[in-house]
Structure 1
Amino acid sequence: MRALSGFTLVELVVVIALTGIMVAVAAPRFANGDIFETRGDAGLLSSTLRYAQKTAIAQRKSVFVIHNDAVEPNTVSLCFDPNCGGAQVVINPETAGAYVLTFSRSVVVQSSNKGLGFDGLGRAVPNELATYTVTNRNNALQSVGISVEKNTGYVH
């Protein structure tokens, strides 16, 4: 008679327990949500820049993207004047209030042009390349760049 081969119940329990321990230790490293926040905030910033450009074209007047960490940290506001005073704010159609984009705490946004604007034809004001970099505070390797072309105002 031939002997049956296979695993005993004890061996299976030990393997399942070791696999569970390895998953519990390794999973947080792979399931870190920081990259999702970085890319999500970069997507929101890109959409905000495009909305500013479309609003400038629709209203036939300049719209400025104000990114001033000294006044209101980690935010971007849309205004019809470069100083963003009072009644000159762009209205957010979602909230019916002032258009202010607030980034996650785990994200830092740097811009080459703190007072970027779009004229009534959708061109960048001033007429120079503007770049935004959205970087994760916890991992500097996780960063996303956004550019606004100087002659066309194309956001990519």
Structure 2
Amino acid sequence: MVELIVVLMLVGILGAIGASRFFERSSFDTAAYADQVRAMLRYAQKAAIARNTPVYVRFEDNRISLCHNEPQGACAAGALVANPGGFSAADDATRAACGGADWYCIGKPPNVAWNTAPTADWVKFDALGRPLVSGTAPGGVPGGLTLSISGGRDTATISVIEETGYVQ
């Protein structure tokens, strides 16, 4: 009988700790947003190679988007990279930050933040799929690019490998 009571107490304690993770939305937002950004970076690299033209990933205040021209001001309408799914306004944050457009843009959810190392406003994938970060010398990203996405107690890290542009 004592063993049963101890087991029930342990299950209750573990359940209370584990259940709190399921009710914190920022944990889910962080993981989902990191997966979306990872897919976007991979698509940008593959699109640059397939189209033999540079693709810029723009890190803006409330969104991350893809554009074909160098990020100086707004991306021209003819330079927007189309979303491979046809329409990107899937959630409230994306609709608010990107509008109802069919270009590849992901709005940042509330309670989620990101930072890049080295600090970058954009990363360009050239026609060979190699990354070049704003503010670095031509020829690559020394040490690669690391994008940290955090929200609540969780942090997701995305790495872009120098020279190859591989996203992991």
TM-score (norm 1): 0.73
Cα separation, 2, equivalents of 1:144 and 1:93: 24
- For 2:149, the equivalent position in structure 1 comes to 134
* Rg comparison, structure with higher value: 1
How many positions carry a matched residue from both structures?
Answer: 130
Alignment partner of 1:66: what SS? strand
- For 2:54, the equivalent position in structure 1 comes to 62
Cα separation, 1, equivalents of 2:115 and 2:43: 19
Q: Which runs of 5+ in 2 are unaligned?
A: 1-8, 88-101, 134-139
The answer to whether 1:113 aligns with 2:101 is no
Cα separation, 2, equivalents of 1:148 and 1:30: 29
The answer to whether 1:78 aligns with 2:48 is no
**Superposition RMSD in Å:** 2.3
Q: 1:101 aligns with which of 106, 128, 136?
A: 106
- Matched letter for residue 149 of structure 1: I
- For 1:122, the equivalent position in structure 2 comes to 129
The answer to whether 1:154 aligns with 2:150 is no
- Matched letter for residue 149 of structure 2: V
- For 1:16, the equivalent position in structure 2 comes to none
Query: How far 1:86 sits from its partner (Å)?
Result: 2.4
Query: How far 1:28 sits from its partner (Å)?
Result: 5.0
Q: In the alignment, is the contact (CA less than 8 A) between 1:82 and 1:115 conserved in 2?
A: no
Q: Which runs of 5+ in 1 are unaligned?
A: 1-18
Cα separation, 1, equivalents of 2:30 and 2:157: 11
Cα separation, 2, equivalents of 1:54 and 1:30: 35
Cα separation, 1, equivalents of 2:114 and 2:48: 23
Pair 1:104–1:60, CA change in 2 (3 A): same
- Matched letter for residue 27 of structure 2: I
- For 1:143, the equivalent position in structure 2 comes to 155
Alignment partner of 1:144: what SS? strand
Identity fraction in percent: 30
Cα separation, 2, equivalents of 1:145 and 1:119: 23
Residue deviations 1:99-143 (CA, integer Å, cap 9, x gap): 10113212112123221010011111241121111000x33xx10
